[in-house]
């Protein structure tokens, strides 16, 4: 696997750079995704190490991290947007790109299927239809690694004050710790709440501790509108974070 992994890294490196352009706006988007790929790959490796996975499984986590957003590059070059709703699902697009390459065929079938499954479900609201514990486990791992780095990317946008107001039904759901419908996001303030509520969807205490330690949660909370229901939601959320962080992580393989 070590040689294959090296080839994958080399290919991904060259592939991402093949999208470099003189168009400043496009270049910014490509570099953003290149950096995100690098961070998510290392976070995946680190999390896999923390969970005590075997060398093979740590490498599997690394491969998924490396390729999880491979579809972003074709998406941007074809549609000039990273918005899935305005183009197509970048996870499914990523699988198309991967199927054109020899890598998945060179892996054991069960491992290749785990890569496919984890990538396809890395960006969905929830994971559905896993055919094995391993598929589900690696999907959870990449979702955590991805979220941790997206908090880094989004921090400047989620902490800027706005006067756009917040949707009442979002606040009610936040207070009650219930899921919200992403498609109903209306304002930047709604977006802050939605990202904050990602906390409830983080799978491992390791990830949540990093999210908290890096101040991502506190920074968003600071910028939320002053409101009794928002404060109630924040209390619930912080209590949840404390409880979850105190639980030991187990690799359910």
Q: How many Cβ atoms sit within 10 Å of the Cβ of residue 172?
A: 13
Q: Which CB atom, from 45 or from 68, has the smaller least distance to Fe ion? A: 68
Distance of CA 141 to the CA centre of its chain: 10
Distance between CA 208 and CA 213 in Å, rounded?
Answer: 8
Closest separation in Å from C-beta 205 to Fe ion:
23
If binding is defined by CB under 5 A, does position 75 make contact with Fe ion?
A: no
Q: Give the CA distances from residue 145 to residues 15, 32, 207, in Å, rounded to whole numbers and listed in that order.
A: 22, 16, 7
If binding is defined by CB under 5 A, does position 144 make contact with Fe ion?
A: no
Closest separation in Å from C-beta 181 to Fe ion:
20
Residues of span 182-201 touching Fe ion by CB under 5 A: none
Q: Which stretch binds Fe ion (CB under 5 A): 17-25, 67-75, 152-160, 231-239?
A: 67-75
Burial 190-216 (b: 16+ CB within 10 A, else e): bbbbbbbbbbeebbbbbbbbbbbeeeb
Distance between CA 119 and CA 209 in Å, rounded?
Answer: 24
Closest separation in Å from C-beta 105 to Fe ion:
23
Number of amino acids touching Fe ion (CB under 5 A) = 2
Query: Do residues 151 and 209 lie in contact, with contact meaning Cβ atoms separated by under 8 Å?
Result: no
Closest separation in Å from C-beta 68 to Fe ion:
6
Q: Which position among 69, 144, 149, 190 is part of the footprint of Fe ion (CB under 5 A)?
A: 69
Q: Which CB atom, from 59 or from 75, has the smaller least distance to Fe ion? A: 75
Closest separation in Å from C-beta 122 to Fe ion:
6
Q: Which of 113, 147, 143 is nearest to 127 (CA)?
A: 143
Q: Which residues have a Cβ under 8 Å from the Cβ of 105 and sit 6 or more positions away?
A: 112
Q: Which CB atom, from 144 or from 189, has the smaller least distance to Fe ion? A: 144
Q: Which stretch binds Fe ion (CB under 5 A): 25-33, 122-130, 149-157, 188-196?
A: 122-130
Cβ-proximal residue to Fe ion, closest one = 69
Q: Which CB atom, from 1 or from 154, has the smaller least distance to Fe ion? A: 154
Three-class SS of 130-158: CCCHHHHHHHHHHHHHHHHHHHHHHHHHH
If binding is defined by CB under 5 A, does position 44 make contact with Fe ion?
A: no
Closest separation in Å from C-beta 84 to Fe ion:
9
If binding is defined by CB under 5 A, does position 123 make contact with Fe ion?
A: yes
Residues lying near Fe ion in the complex (CB under 5 A) are found at 69, 123
């Amino acid at each position: 696997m070590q040689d294959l992994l090296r080839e994958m890294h080399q290919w991904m490196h060259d592939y991402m750079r093949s999208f470099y352009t003189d168009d400043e706006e496009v270049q910014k988007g490509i570099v953003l995704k290149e950096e995100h790929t690098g961070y998510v790959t290392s976070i995946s490796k680190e999390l896999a190490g923390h969970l005590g996975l075997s060398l093979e499984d740590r490498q599997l986590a690394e491969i998924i991290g490396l390729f999880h957003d491979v579809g972003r590059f074709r998406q941007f070059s074809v549609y000039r947007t990273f918005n899935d709703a305005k183009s197509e699902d970048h996870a499914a697009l990523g699988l198309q790109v991967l199927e054109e390459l020899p890598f998945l065929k060179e892996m054991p079938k069960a491992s290749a299927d785990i890569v496919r499954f984890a990538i396809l479900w890395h960006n969905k609201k929830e994971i559905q239809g896993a055919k094995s514990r391993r598929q589900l486990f690696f999907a959870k791992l990449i979702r955590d690694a991805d979220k941790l780095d997206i908090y880094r990317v989004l921090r400047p946008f989620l902490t800027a004050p706005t006067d756009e107001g917040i949707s009442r039904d979002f606040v009610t759901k936040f207070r009650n710790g219930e899921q919200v419908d992403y498609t109903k996001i209306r304002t930047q303030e709604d977006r802050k709440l939605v990202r904050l509520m990602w906390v409830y969807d983080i799978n491992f205490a390791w990830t949540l501790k990093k999210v908290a330690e890096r101040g991502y949660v506190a920074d968003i909370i600071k910028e939320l509108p002053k409101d009794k229901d928002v404060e109630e939601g924040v209390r619930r959320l912080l209590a949840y974070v404390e409880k979850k962080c105190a639980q030991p992580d187990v690799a359910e393989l």
